[in-house]
Every structure is written in structure tokens, then in C-alpha cells.
């Protein structure tokens, strides 16, 4: 087996392990406990619908493979209980990378994940990393709050915009400027790409002038995902960002941050479910409406019931 490849047996085992972890099946707790903290370089890709995330992911895979790196893709759709990501993932797999043993593609929808999607993503990252992939790409649909939360699971976050359509302003509103380590302006074969690159650079210069400025200058890279233009530059930026994280001692912080997000997502989800259950069992809102409890007293009642473990 060449370097940058993962054996067929390993891939079949991986697919089974992910299903086990996704469904919290028997043995998943032991399996996860036996696995080390993910060591693969985790790269997030996010951006508005239709901007070219899947096409860019495919072009990125092609470039990374030419550099001998193995790549796994986790396509996540936080807004869907129904796996649209599976279709897109399948489409990439069918098209270009079907027979490549250095590529693994899997999708994850939000359906009924105990402990929230973020907790599940972390577990799946652990399993994929343990299978030996060099890079894991998390492709997320959209630019809302849950997408930003998922982007925080990555070491390196790539945000994709397209020419025109006020994407820069949308990005600023959604808080996406702060999470982007790298911007691409995809569909640069279309008019207005230069203006969008300038607009994003202008907005980024304002963000990085803030005291929280990190010392990393977020590049804005024009790409054409349909023909691969700009993907050599994008891969260089991804490697540079990784080197920056290592140099600054930030990689370990990213790893800790990822575990923290996962723990908080899982426990807050449990607490939220518990609060809902107590409220509904004891008709707390109904008692508030009848004037028998103030809202403060109602909250205390729910908190105390959670603490008492009832
Ligand atoms: N002209 C042009 N079209 C592109 C480019 N990249 C992607 N497209 C096209 O844009 C459409 C959407 O691309 P996708 O890769 O599916 O976009 P996406 O962001 O993954 O879409 P969702 O997953 O639905 O949010 C497809 O028809 C692509 O062929 C590009 O660089 N130039
Ligand atoms: Mg897509």
C-alpha cells in the first residue's frame, strides 16, 4: 500500500464504526474511549447554499491527492433531519474519487442525535482520524449559528463566497468573518469576482485591526472549482495555516477547544431535555400563567428539580 492510502478493510471497518458511533450503539462508548484525541488536520468548509462547497471539496481532494495526502470528508447538514448531504457526498464519490483508496466520504444529518450534532461530529472525527487519514474536511451547508458552531470544530476554517450577491455583508452579519482562517471567492469565472475579493479584504482588515487580532492574516483566494483554478494556492494556504498553528502553539488549544465544544454540547443538550421534561410533567408554565408562581420561582423550581436529579 502506498503512503496516503488507507486499506479497503480499514475503510469498511471505519464505515461500520461511524454507524455505531452515530447510533450510540452497543460498544460505542468503549470504542471511543479506546481512541486517541484526533491528530488529523481538520479543515472546515462552509458557505451559503449553492456557492460551490461540494465542487470546491472535490477540487481540493484532487489537489491534496496529487500531493500524496489521504483525505476524509464529513458532509454535515445541521438544518436537515434528512440526509441531503448523502446525495452530495455520493455525487462527489461517483464523479471523481470512486476508486481512490485515499479518499473517504461520509455524510451526517442532524436526525435525533443524542447529545447534539457537535458531540456526534467530535466522536466521528475521532474514529476517522484513528483510521489514519491525513486530513479531514468537514463540509457544512449554510452560514447560520449552528454552522459557525461546527466550524469551531476545525483547526482551519475555509469560508466560501461567490461574486456579487452581497456575500461579504452577509458574512459580516453572520459572524463568519471572525471564524474564517481562509476565504475563497469561488465562481471567479463570473463577473464581479475582483470586487468581491476587494470587499472581503476591506472587511477583514477592519476585523483584524481589533485587539483580538490573531497575527494570522486571512487570505482571500479567487477560485474556479469547476476547473480547479486557485486550488494550488488554497492548499498552500491550508498548509501555511497549519504551520502557523503549530508555531504559535495553537494546535493544542484547538484540540482542547474541540473537546470542550463537544462536552458542552452533550451536557447542555441533556440539561435542556431534562428542563423540558420537568416543565412538562409539572405544568410549570401553566402555574405561572395562573399567577401561582413568578417566572423567577418557576426557574428555581426547574433548576432545583434538575439538581435533585428528579
Ligand atoms: N461557473 C461556475 N460554476 C460553479 C463553480 N463552482 C461550482 N459551480 C456550480 O455551482 C453549482 C453549485 O455547486 P455545489 O458545489 O453543488 O454548491 P454547494 O455550495 O455545495 O451547494 P449546496 O450543498 O446545495 O449548498 C453547480 O452547478 C456547480 O457546477 C465555479 O467555480 N464556476
Ligand atoms: Mg454541497
The DSSP result for the chain, as a single string, is: --TT---HHHHHHHHHHHHHHHTT-TTHHHHHHTSPPP-SEEEEEEESTTSSHHHHHHHHHHHHHHTT--EEEEEEETT-SS-HHHHHHHHHIIIIITT-TTEEEEEEE-TT-TTHHHHHHHHHHHHHHHTT-SEEEEEEEBSSHHHHHHHTT-SEEEEEE-SSTTHHHHHHHHTHHHH-SEEEE--TTSTTHHHHHHHHHHHHHHHHTSTT--S----EEE-BTTTTBTHHHHHHHHHHHHHHHHHTTHHHHHHHHHHHHHHHHHHHHHHHHHHHHHHHHHTHHHHHHTTSS-HHHHHHHHHHHHHTT-
Statement to judge: residues 270 and 135 lie in one domain: no
Looking at per-residue pLDDT, the higher value among 208 and 85 belongs to 208
Q: Confirm or reject: Cβ of 270 under 6 Å from ligand 1.
A: no
Q: Confirm or reject: Cβ of 225 under 6 Å from ligand 1.
A: yes
231: CA distance to ligand 1 center in Å?
15
- Does residue 279 fall inside a structural domain? yes
- Does residue 2 fall inside a structural domain? no
Boundary of a domain, candidates 207, 223, 248: 248
* CATH number (domain holding residue 206): 3.40.50.300
Range(s) of the domain holding residue 156: 8-248
Global pTM value: 0.86
Statement to judge: residues 198 and 168 lie in one domain: yes
Mean pLDDT to the nearest integer, 54-79: 89
- Does residue 168 fall inside a structural domain? yes
- Does residue 255 fall inside a structural domain? no
Task: State the pLDDT at residue 94.
Answer: 46
- Does residue 91 fall inside a structural domain? yes
Statement to judge: residues 237 and 271 lie in one domain: no
Mean pLDDT to the nearest integer, 19-27: 85
Q: Which atom of ligand 1 is nearest to the CA of 84?
A: 23
Q: Confirm or reject: Cβ of 55 under 6 Å from ligand 1.
A: yes
- Does residue 288 fall inside a structural domain? yes
271: CA distance to ligand 1 center in Å?
39
- Does residue 170 fall inside a structural domain? yes
Task: State the pLDDT at residue 166.
Answer: 64
Statement to judge: residues 62 and 168 lie in one domain: yes
Mean of all residue pLDDT scores within the chain:
84
Q: Confirm or reject: Cβ of 53 under 6 Å from ligand 1.
A: yes
Statement to judge: residues 149 and 52 lie in one domain: yes
Total domains in the chain come to: 2
Statement to judge: residues 151 and 280 lie in one domain: no
Reading phi first (left if > 0) and then psi (alpha if -120 to 50, else beta), residue 5 is in beta
- Does residue 101 fall inside a structural domain? yes
Statement to judge: residues 292 and 216 lie in one domain: no
Statement to judge: residues 45 and 166 lie in one domain: yes
Statement to judge: residues 222 and 126 lie in one domain: yes
Statement to judge: residues 197 and 241 lie in one domain: yes
Mean pLDDT to the nearest integer, 217-235: 96
Mean pLDDT to the nearest integer, 67-72: 94
191: CA distance to ligand 2 center in Å?
22
Statement to judge: residues 93 and 172 lie in one domain: yes
Statement to judge: residues 16 and 163 lie in one domain: yes
Looking at per-residue pLDDT, the higher value among 112 and 100 belongs to 100
Amino acid at each position: 500500500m502506498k503512503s496516503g492510502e488507507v486499506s479497503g478493510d480499514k475503510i469498511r471497518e471505519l464505515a461500520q464504526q461511524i454507524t455505531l458511533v452515530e447510533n450510540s450503539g452497543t460498544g460505542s462508548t468503549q470504542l471511543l474511549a479506546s481512541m486517541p484525541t484526533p491528530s488529523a488536520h481538520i479543515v472546515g468548509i462552509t458557505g451559503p447554499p449553492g456557492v460551490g462547497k461540494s465542487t470546491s471539496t472535490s477540487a481540493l481532494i484532487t489537489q491534496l491527492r496529487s500531493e500524496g495526502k489521504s483525505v476524509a470528508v464529513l458532509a454535515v447538514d445541521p438544518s436537515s433531519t434528512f440526509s441531503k448531504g448523502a446525495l452530495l457526498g455520493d455525487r462527489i464519490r461517483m464523479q471523481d474519487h470512486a476508486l481512490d483508496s485515499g479518499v473517504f466520504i461520509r455524510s451526517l444529518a442532524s436526525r435525533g442525535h443524542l447529545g447534539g450534532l457537535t458531540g456526534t461530529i467530535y466522536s466521528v472525527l475521532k474514529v476517522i482520524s484513528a483510521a489514519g487519514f491525513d486530513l479531514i474536511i468537514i463540509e457544512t451547508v449554510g452560514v447560520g449559528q449552528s454552522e459557525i458552531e461546527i466550524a469551531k470544530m476545525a483547526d482551519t476554517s475555509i469560508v466560501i463566497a461567490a461574486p456579487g450577491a452581497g456575500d461579504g455583508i452577509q458574512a459580516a452579519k453572520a459572524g463568519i468573518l471572525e471564524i474564517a482562517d481562509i476565504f475563497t471567492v469561488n465562481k471567479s469565472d463570473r463577473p464581479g469576482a475582483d470586487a468581491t475579493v476587494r470587499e472581503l479584504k476591506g472587511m477583514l482588515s477592519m476585523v483584524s485591526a481589533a485587539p483580538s487580532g490573531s497575527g494570522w492574516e486571512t487570505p482571500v483566494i479567487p477560485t474556479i472549482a469547476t476547473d480547479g483554478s486557485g486550488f494550488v494556492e488554497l492548499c498552500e494556504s491550508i498548509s501555511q495555516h497549519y504551520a502557523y498553528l503549530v508555531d504559535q502553539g495553537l494546535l493544542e488549544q484547538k484540540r482542547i477547544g474541540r473537546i470542550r465544544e463537544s462536552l458542552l454540547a452533550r451536557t447542555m443538550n441533556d440539561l435542556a431535555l431534562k428542563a423540558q421534561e420537568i416543565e412538562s410533567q409539572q405544568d410549570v408554565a401553566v402555574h405561572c400563567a395562573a399567577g401561582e408562581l413568578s417566572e423567577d420561582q418557576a426557574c428555581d423550581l426547574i433548576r432545583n428539580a434538575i439538581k435533585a436529579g428528579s
